[in-house]
Amino acid sequence: MERVEIAAGKYQLRPWNLGDVEPARVALNDPDIQRWRLPRRPDDDSGWRDPNEWLKKRVGFWDEGQHACFIVMDAVTGDPLGDVSVQHIDLTLHSAEIGYWLMPHARGRGVATHAVNTATRWAFGALGIHRMTLGHAVGNPASCAVAQRTGYALEGVMRGAFPLPDGGFHDEHLHSRLATDPPVPVA
């Protein structure tokens, strides 16, 4: 898949690169990101602890064609704010999933809403995706609010869908948006 940058008003979405070590380090050490998105087991050797290994995977995902991961940046200052990814891309079924997280200093400012809406519109247009899904922990109301503000309809609860570091699982809400749904304006 061709790497693209997306200018999105006050934000820019660009593919992660191997030079983004410091934002990766901040993200991998943030307790909220660890809690909601990155399951960490004591025996996990998948590279989630090492920012350089994590970046190699993020960069390589593009080449595999099933995962487009963007670093979200302030368009004026270049300040890294978070990540939005179109993942599990299946061009045969015209489906994909959206995932996102924000750096601590970027939360509560509408950045996730803007990034998710922008990446969703890109997937519908550039990739020809028809159905996008968004899953988040039931106990994460901030992510539920992002889903609602970006037009993702709640479909239900996926019980025990996400592994926890202690060996347990948490339930997740499943939201979806179709290319034929009314457009949601970018804030």
Tokens of 116: 């998710």
pLDDT band at 42 (very low <50, low <70, confident <90, very high): very low
For residue 17, the tally of other CB atoms under 10 A from its CB is 12
Residue 51 in this model has a pLDDT that exceeds 80:
yes
User: Which pLDDT score, from 0 to 100, does residue 31 have?
Assistant: 80
pLDDT band at 49 (very low <50, low <70, confident <90, very high): low
Which residues in 20-179 belong to E strands, given as ranges?
67-74, 80-90, 95-102, 131-137, 153-163, 169-178
Of the ranges 69-73, 158-162, 173-177, 178-182, which one carries the lowest mean pLDDT score? 158-162
pLDDT in tens, 101-151: 999 999 999 999 999 999 999 999 999 999 999 999 998 999 999 999 999
User: Which pLDDT score, from 0 to 100, does residue 128 have?
Assistant: 97
Checking DSSP bridges between strand 131-137 and strand 95-102, what pairing results, if any? parallel
What's the whole-model pTM score? 0.90
**Which residues are CB-contacts of 99 (< 8 A; sequence separation ≥ 6)?**
37, 83, 84, 85, 87, 134
